[in-house]
A and B are shown apart, each in its own frame.
Chain A
Amino acid sequence: AQSVSQHNHHVILSEAASLELGCNYSYGGTVNLFWYVQYPGQHLQLLLKYFSGDPLVKGIKGFEAEFIKSKFSFNLRKPSVQWSDTAEYFCAVTSGGNNRLAFGKGNQVVVIP
């Protein structure tokens, strides 16, 4: 079964700092990759996704992610975070042509004003 690894479950940083969250997956074939965000008290929302093409994907709210196939990675970045980026971030993967999403354990990000 597909597995997704996210490291550093808790991340605390100050406003204007840069953020990078790592995501590694186990499947060696064709994958579709996602980052979801869950703001406090809200439902999961899609931040960005990668299907094919340019491995650098831009999402909402200034986030971007880079797909590196050789490293089985899809890391999320934001150059300068804001207090409103405080949320839990989940990496997710579908693979092998099925539509079953496998999630990582999430990163709890707290941005201090």
Chain B
Amino acid sequence: DVKVTQSSRYLVKRTGEKVFLECVQDMDHENMFWYRQDPGLGLRLIYFSYDVKMKEKGDIPEGYSVSREKKERFSLILESASTNQTSMYLCASSLPVGGIGYTFGSGTRLTVV
């Protein structure tokens, strides 16, 4: 069974902390994505990557950065966490051909206090 695994299901961090959210996929997919999901706002794309060491800004990249040193791993970094970054974070991966569809991880619910 193919999987996208997010390292933490729940996280609580303090304002100003540096936060790492990790995502690993075992499908040898080129594309990986980070979204945040908020009630009434749907899923909004933060960053994505088409290949190792490549990254592209999504719709809401402010306050975030990413790292993709290996094909299977895509990390989301909150340089200085703020309360407005409290959210559900979803990682996804896909093949490079457009429209194949994504496989999603189970999500990390981050609370910044």
Contact = CB atoms under 8 A, between A and B. Distances in A.
Interface of A: 1, 6, 9, 32, 34, 42-46, 49, 51, 90, 92, 94, 97-106
B45 interface: yes
A77 B105 CA distance: 26
B101 A46 contact: yes
Interface in B9-49: 31, 33, 35, 40-45, 48
A37 to B, nearest CB: 11
A16 to B, nearest CB: 28
Contacts of B90: 43-44
28 contacts: A9-B40, A34-B101, A43-B90, A43-B104, A43-B106, A43-B107, A44-B92, A44-B102, A44-B104, A45-B104, A46-B102, A51-B99, A90-B43, A94-B99, A97-B98, A99-B94, A99-B95, A99-B97, A99-B98, A99-B99, A100-B45, A100-B48, A101-B33, A102-B45, A103-B35, A103-B42, A104-B42, A105-B41
Q: Give the residue among B43, B58, B94, B100 with the most A Cβ atoms within 10 A.
A: B43
B39 to A, nearest CB: 9
B63 interface: no
Contacts of A44: 90, 92, 102, 104
B62 interface: no
Contacts of A90: 42-43
Majority secondary structure, B binding face? loop
Contacts of A6: 42
Given A6-B42, A92-B43, 12 more contacts: A32-B98, A43-B106, A44-B90, A44-B102, A45-B104, A94-B99, A99-B96, A100-B48, A100-B58, A101-B102, A103-B42, A106-B42
